[in-house]
Structure 1
Amino acid sequence: MKLSRTRLALLIGLAGALLLMAVIVSPMLLISMPSFLNDDGTSVDCDDKAQVEEVSDSGTSDIPTEYLDLYQKNGKKVGVQWNILAAVGKRETDHGRSDLPGVKSGTNYAGAAGPMQFLISTWGGKARIPASSTVNGYASDGDGDGVADVYNPADAILGAAKMLKRNGAPENVRRALFVYNRAWWYVDQVEEIARRYAKSGAVKLPPQSSEECDDPLVEAAPSDIVAEIMKYALAQRGKPYLWGGTGPDAFDCSGVIYAAYQAAGLRIPRTTFTQWPFGVKVLEGQEQPGDLVFFNAGPGTSANNPGHVGLVVSKGKMLEARCRLCGPIKVTSYQARDKIMGFTRPLQNPDVLDQLKKLQNPSL
């Protein structure tokens, strides 16, 4: 059959479009890849869904339904292991069932209160605080009734999740538990309870928390230059936070991003405040690896002056150097965090586009 020039052009155009779609879609397929093989042939799970810990029979029989729901909901919301939260609740007050002083009213001999045994000073100075108040503590309104009540399980469990997250969980659980109650015997006891509550008998680390999950992240990068940025950034995981640090031994939030771009041969601004206006704004949901995510949090922050920044490494995940007390540089979830100001793409800045042209053609 003889094709007209018009129909032939349409077919060629369709083939080209399909090829382009394949190129665009294939990285996204890699992003959702659930696992890969270690050198010894064992499988490593790198997917969020693969890391959801099921409840053991022991956990189901021991944890009241209301409390179990709160542990699971707030663990997922904040980004800590629910069974660690549950183990804290068990060790502190037997999930609120204890009749000792301070559990349901007042405080104990140490000044702790509620089912998760917060020191009133760490809750915010008072047992019950209006949710609209600005407090220096972990007071939280978990049930939306407008009050952060240290005796309310919904509020106390959310506050405990935030405290554990702030101090190193889910990656460094032992450090977070030690800050919660400064005794290593306490840490050992809570971990043992957490293992009993988990069907697997383990305290699982979150996906992408170690070098084992770097390969699929880098392979899913939308370009070679983003892959180079991510290789450097991910290699800094585990190093300490240092305000003003740009490596090689320690970094702050913007410093590790600045160094990662520099390692790929690109120059971007050094600080969070100057990185924010530099990149082209990206709508939420359209961010991709290599983009930056900014937060209305940290020193000097304001409504349009972010004080914290992370590097997007996959949908919902970022690499960040958060703060000195927050543990080492790590991959965390930005979807579980509040105060997100927005996303930017430094690679679309005109100056960076010129740099990319020169990298591709040094003779220019």
Structure 2
Amino acid sequence: MLVKVLGAGSAAVVFCVVVIAAVVTTVIVYDQPLPAPGSSAGAGSTPSPQAREDIPPELLVLYQNAAGDCPGLDWSVLAAIGKIETDHGRSPLPGVQTGENSAGAGGLMQFLDPTFDAVVTRHPLPAGGASPPSRYNPSDAIHAAAHYLCDSGAPADLRAAIFAYNHADWYVDQVLAQASRYRLDPPPGSGDCRTVQASSPAAAQAISFACGQLGQPYVWGGNGPAINGGWDCSGLTQAAYRTSGITLPRTTYDQIHTGARIPENQLAPGDLVFYGTTDNNVHHVGLFLGAGRMVHAPDVGQPVQVSDYRYPGDDYYAATRPAAIPPAAQSDSRASP
């Protein structure tokens, strides 16, 4: 770390402060609760234990595959609708297996007949259903539901799409809550360098680079082993984010002013964690890994390593999220330390 401290017409430079290095093979995993647009059929979140226990296996496969009809839609939303409408087809009420309910809806996903016909006219359904398509056939019903949600604005405006399915705010809330219970949300970072978990490619790349420097010496003002033999803390974080296309200033004093401030209870892998007492008195920075750990260049005699980001007597101060910085807002890294 290199930090600028201005005072009484002169500039002083303050050092980094303090912690086990290992050569590891890094696997990068992007933690994304919902798949990105363009995801293939079957993509999406991992089913939770509740989902696997509650959803018939053949229907779980259908929900997962049908989500691919609407790129970016998570299968759990379809499953939640199937649960709330008919308990995945197990409800004994009229209109589930045959006939219609009092509103004229029928089948696993409770389509009105005109609505179902309009959807399958616009969107040919895959093989495996009935011929002609039927709202009582699980495959046809679930694929039609995915298309209907997509036509109604999913995944960009998921609430509006679910509201179009059933015009009630309470219904939207129930579907979203059930979908959340069906998803197994990933842990907030692995806490080590063997499996890098991050919510964006930029954060994952920065962590991967920093983890690749484990064991490199601490050098005050260091910009890397090829330049002056090692790293200081802010030199490491600047170089790490440079590999992901994000430009940070050189010193901790400036880095803390770059990017959105993140509350400690919302820390995510890739965030920068700072130590000090005020914005003008930060003396150390590390790259958060999750699970209470960070990778950093601690101090003279302490190589780049992974350690707890909170420790007895620390002066943890604040955190920022460089991975969210728009390119136009990035700082000029050519500024002198």
* TM-score range for the pair, normalised by the shorter chain length: 0.3 to 0.5
Identify the structure with bigger relative contact order (alpha carbons < 8 Å, sequence gap 6+): 2
TM-score by length of 1: 0.40
Indicate the structure (1 or 2) with the bigger Cα radius of gyration: 2
TM-score by length of 2: 0.43
Q: Of Structure 1 and Structure 2, which has the larger fraction of its residues in strand?
A: 2
Q: Of Structure 1 and Structure 2, which has the larger fraction of its residues in helix?
A: 1
